[in-house]
Amino acid sequence: MLRLRIQRATWPRPALILTDTPHPDCRYCEGDGGIEHEYGHPETGEYDGSRWESCICWNHERRWLLMPLPRLPRRHRCTPDCLCNEPPF
């Protein structure tokens, strides 16, 4: 069963997409869409990273482009004749 929602994507370009969402009452992932497995370094036992395992209730690759959004020009906060420390310098 699909649980669709509209979402704003920023990569590779701004767009509105229709995407699937995890089942909120899933007994495996509890609505998160997957389970994160943290693991330690084999010799020291210290935290070494994590791995994400997707749940069967959700397919994160199921998405459709609805409408590309325009790229807005960047606005500078300072006028050309003033000195400021805001990026870009």
Taking residues 64-88, what's their average pLDDT?
A: 72
DSSP of the chain: ---EEEEEE-SSS-EEEEEE---TT-TTTTTSSEEEEEEE-TTT--EEEEEEEE-TT--TT-EEEEEEPPPPPP--SS-TTS---SSP-
**pLDDT in the model for residue 59:** 86
**pLDDT in the model for residue 71:** 81
How many whole angstroms separate alpha carbon 14 and alpha carbon 46? 39
Q: Is the pLDDT of residue 68 over 80?
A: yes
What confidence tens digit (pLDDT) does each residue in 18-58 have? Answer: 998 899 999 999 999 999 999 888 888 888 899 999 999 88
How many whole angstroms separate alpha carbon 79 and alpha carbon 29? 51
